[in-house]
Amino acid sequence: MLDQTFYQKADEIIAFYGKKPASLIPIMQDIQGEYRYLPGELLTYVAGQIGITEAKAYSVATFYENFSFEPKGKYVIKVCDGTACHVRKSAPILEKFQKELGLSAKKHTTDDMLFTVETVSCLGACGLAPTVMVNEEVHPKMTPEKVLELLQELRGEKG
């Protein structure tokens, strides 16, 4: 069961975008932005409020990569695997992150909920390939060595 505050937050967001089916995606985006994941119960609640079926809401939520029913880490690290980054060797960077954090293609989030590692198809900073985005900040010209520095820096912020 979700805490009542989740529903209050959802109500605020729903009120902002309006109770209509077209509001589904922006509402889900804001909920995801707020909690770093999309709680399933909340999705059902939103569906009822904006007048769509639960199956429809679920089908939309699972279509888009950005939505996750699993809580994500404090730092969501997106390793760009766009063409430019790929050509400039982004694969070893992803491997380094995964190796350092004990993650894999199946396990994206560390047990301490600090890091989530994903790939992204292009961050639009191709001139600085290979790049990595941490939350909304882009880190340019990455190397496996810089991965270690970056993780240290992020861990340092933890306190």
- Measured N-to-C along each axis, helices 54-63 and 24-35 cross at an angle, to the nearest 10 degrees, of 70
Site for another protein in 23-62 (CB under 8 A): 23-26, 28-29, 40, 44, 52-60, 62
16 or 112: CB nearest another protein:
16
78 or 115: CB nearest another protein:
78
To the nearest 10°, the Cα dihedral for 152, 154, 155, 159?
140
DSSP symbols for 25-71: HHHHHHHHHHHSS--HHHHHHHHHHHT--HHHHHHHHHHSTT--SSP
Told to check if 128 binds another protein by CB under 8 A, we report: yes
89 or 112: CB nearest another protein:
89
Using CB under 8 A, list all residues that contact another protein. Answer: 21-26, 28-29, 40, 44, 52-60, 62-67, 81-88, 120-129, 131, 133, 136-140
